[in-house]
Amino acid sequence: MATLETKSLAEEMDIILRAIESGMIDVKTINTLKRLLSQKPSSTTSITVSTQSKSSSLASSRTKKTTRTTLPAKNAVREDPFPSSELVSTTKTVVMKSLTALATEADSRNKKGESTESVNTRQPVSQGTRNVGVCCRLALEVLRQWQDHVDIGASWVNKAYFGYISKLIGLEMVSS
């Protein structure tokens, strides 16, 4: 009988962070990150309240107005709001580790360029480095969607995007 091994969010994100640090990001790691970042909040129970206002006349020829309001159920189980603080924190860590890995790669390329003094030769970027960039972009896109969360803010996301773009320019992955 086979057993299904499940990992917590923290364990799965830790695996992704170690892969980013090592530069060994593969398609499976990217897909795991996508899955973790695209988790939808669990279904919430709600109650729909309808109110009808009746006309003051007895004539039924007038139309009745119906107003619908959806309210959260009072006895619904209270769960952490989506995204959870843990998911936000680990997603921000993915961005920071990715930016660090990209900066390290850019610095090592610059040092190699200085030692060989070849100004116009463009070195190709490894697939691992490109995949680190993909992870960073995925995390940034999700953080942009969540920027109203108390632990993020638009300013943090904007600064992270500027850092990401500057790293891509430094690696000559985009033209400046």
Per residue in 137-146, pLDDT (tens digit) is: 999 999 999 9
Number of domains in the chain: 1
- With 90 as the cut, is the pLDDT of residue 160 above it? yes
What's the rounded Cα separation, in Å, for the pair 122 and 119?
A: 8
- With 70 as the cut, is the pLDDT of residue 49 above it? no
pTM over 0.75: no
Do residues 129 and 94 touch, judged by C-beta distance below 8 A? no
Kindly state whether residue 60 falls inside one of the protein's structural domains: no
Kindly state whether residue 128 falls inside one of the protein's structural domains: yes
**165 is in which domain, residue-wise?**
10-35+85-170
Kindly state whether residue 105 falls inside one of the protein's structural domains: yes
Kindly state whether residue 24 falls inside one of the protein's structural domains: yes
Q: In the chain, what percentage of residues exceed pLDDT 90?
A: 44
Per DSSP, the chain holds a count of helices (H) and strands (E) of 5, 2
What's the rounded Cα separation, in Å, for the pair 139 and 141?
A: 5
Q: How confident is the model at residue 79 (pLDDT cuts 50, 70, 90)?
A: low
Q: What is the mean pLDDT of residues 95-117?
A: 84
What's the rounded Cα separation, in Å, for the pair 69 and 102?
A: 49
Residue 62 token pair = 């007038």
C-alpha distances in Å from residue 130, one per residue of 30, 88, 113, 136: 11, 23, 20, 10
* DSSP 8-state assignment for residue 10: H
Kindly state whether residue 55 falls inside one of the protein's structural domains: no
| CA nearest neighbour of 21 among 112, 99, 126, 97 | 97
Kindly state whether residue 147 falls inside one of the protein's structural domains: yes
At 157 the pLDDT is 94
Kindly state whether residue 144 falls inside one of the protein's structural domains: yes
At 132 the pLDDT is 95
Kindly state whether residue 107 falls inside one of the protein's structural domains: yes
